Amino acid sequence: MNVLLSAEVSGLPGGDRLDCVRASDQCLKEQSCSTKYRTLRQCVAGKESNFSRATGLEAKDECKSAMEALKQKSLYNCRCKRGMKKEKNCLRIYWSMYQSLQGNDLLEDSPYEPVNSRLSDIFRLAPIVSVEPALSKGNNCLDAAKACNLNDTCKKFRSAYITPCTSSTSNEICNKRKCHKALRVFFDKVPPKHSYGMLFCSCRDTACTERRRQTIVPVCSYEDKEKPNCLNLLDSCKKNYICRSRLADFFINCQPESRSISSCLKENYADCLLAYSRLIGTAMTPNYIDSNSLSVAPWCDCSNSGNDIEECLKLLNFFQDNTCLKNAIQAFGNGTDVTVWQPILAVQTTTATTTTASKFKNMGSESTNNEIPTHNDLPACANLQAHKRKSNESVDTELCLNENAIGKDNTVRVSTSHISSENSSALPTSFSLSTLLMLMTIALSISLFLSSSETL
């Protein structure tokens, strides 16, 4: 947990942090900082003999001393901005500071500055994202592709990756390196309202889900002749600054949490989808496993893992069974988002909250009809019940529909979605009533105390 939250709380006074390129330049201008920084870089590179005659424990102590000294400098807390001009150089500097300090592959801190964006911000800008996508009888993924072709930026960068990803060579089906680079550029440059529209579109039939799966031209960007072991693929990724950084960002922003209503530790769907999309075009490129579910995975398996089978399965399951990511994809397809007050309720590990999280897990794993479920009423219902317990207010039980009530009846779908949207705007009022009741209780307690004092 400390590692996961360190990016949020370990900044410099005032919350300002330099990017690693500027922090490095600043450090190199100071004699004491420059010496310790060079020492640390050589420690990380394993070239102790180049800077000291000390060996063994003495060399390790010198490396530790260098790190302790640099903790007081801005370089220690530096981060990188996504898409910055010298991003690769910034990431190289970051990992020279951190790669010898973090041992758990799934808990490496992200080198990127927190984004804290919201899906609702994307919806406001996206005319192609319907508030009721599940009611649409068309192909949402096809509609998203058409919308992309009507946008100059999206059309330009989509064409730029389609060409290398579909052009075969004499020996290979395509040039995977050029295909990956073009895909990274596409997801870095194209606004989410268009790129997400094709990658996370809501579907109700196989034609739509297969089109969604084909978005990244998987025959080139994803598939290969053989599936490597996932741990070997991870090792390959960690040798590349871009891949390692984006993978760490994905682990941080899509970390599941069963006690959370959203099933995400950070309660932010937009940050999770951003981190996922930026993995595309790296060695760990993920894609939908098939056209029947929302499960994703890199092109790898856990065969020949030997004694590392548990570690391998842990890595693979973080993709395949990630309820945070599945719920984020569903939320985008449904036109919903995590409301800003949910983190307050998420920290209360009540039975109702845990039950709601379990329902979300089932939503992600039991979808067999290729349609992203419209279960917007579930969090709304759970939240209303939580407010009832806190404020003793009555809750209209008609607002809480179970999963069986959401069938093929479109009228039910409209009403539940309408309830969900109205509930988000009505909650501040409910919260104010809770506060008022609490104040009245305090006032009554004071009055009773004063009365008893007078009696005495």
d(C-alpha 376, C-alpha 360), whole Å: 11
Annotate the chain with three-state secondary structure.
CHHHHHHHHCCCHHHCCCEHHHHHHHHHCCHHHHHHHHHHHHHHHCCHHHCCCCCCHHHHHHHHHHHHHHCCCHHHHCEECCCCCCHHHHHHHHHHHHCCCCCCHHHCCCCECCCCCCHHHHHHHCCCCCCCHHHCCCCHHHHHHHHHHCCHHHHHHHHHHHHHHHCCCCCCCCCHHHHHHHHHHHHHHCCHHHHHHHHCCCCCCHHHHHHHHCCCCHHHHCCCCCCCEHHHHHHHHHCCHHHHHHHHHHHHHCCECCCCCCCECCCCHHHHHHHHHHHCCCCCCEEECCCCCCCEEECCECCCCHHHHHHHHHHHHHHHCCHHHHHHHHHHHHCCCCCCCHHHHHCCCCHHHHHHHHHHHHHHHCCCCCCCCCCCHHHHHHHHHHHHHHHCCCCCHHHCCCHHHCCCCHHHHHHHHHHHHHHHHHHHHHHHHHHHHHHHHHHHHHHHHHHHHHHC
Task: Please give the residue that has the higher pLDDT: either 106 or 411.
Answer: 106
Question: Is residue 55's pLDDT more than 60?
Answer: no
Average pLDDT across the chain, whole number:
74
Give 16's pLDDT tier (boundaries 50, 70, 90). Answer: low
Residues near 376 by Cβ (< 8 Å), separated by ≥ 6? 334, 336, 416, 417, 419, 420, 421
Answer yes or no: are the C-beta atoms of 318 and 106 closer than 8 Å. Answer: yes
Of residues 80, 101, 109, 102, the one with CA closest to residue 252: 109
- In whole angstroms, how large is the CA radius of gyration of the chain? 25
pTM over 0.75: no
Query: Structural domains in the chain?
Result: 20-99 (no CATH), 119-127+138-334 (1.10.220.110)
Residue 63, both tokens: 């490396």
Q: Residue 22: exposed, middle, or buried by beta-carbon count in 10 A (0-12, 13-18, 19+)?
A: middle
**Residue 396 to residue 136: CA distance in whole angstroms:** 29
pLDDT digits (tens, 9 = 90+) for 340-360: 444 433 333 333 333 333 433
Reported as a pLDDT band with limits 50, 70 and 90, residue 39 is confident
pLDDT tens digits, residue range 251-307?
999 999 999 889 999 999 999 999 999 999 999 999 999 988 899 999 999 999 999
Nearest residue to 215 via CA among 183, 188, 262: 183
User: For the CA atoms of 68, 70, 71, 75, what is the dihedral angle to 10 degrees?
Assistant: -160
- pLDDT at position 251: 96
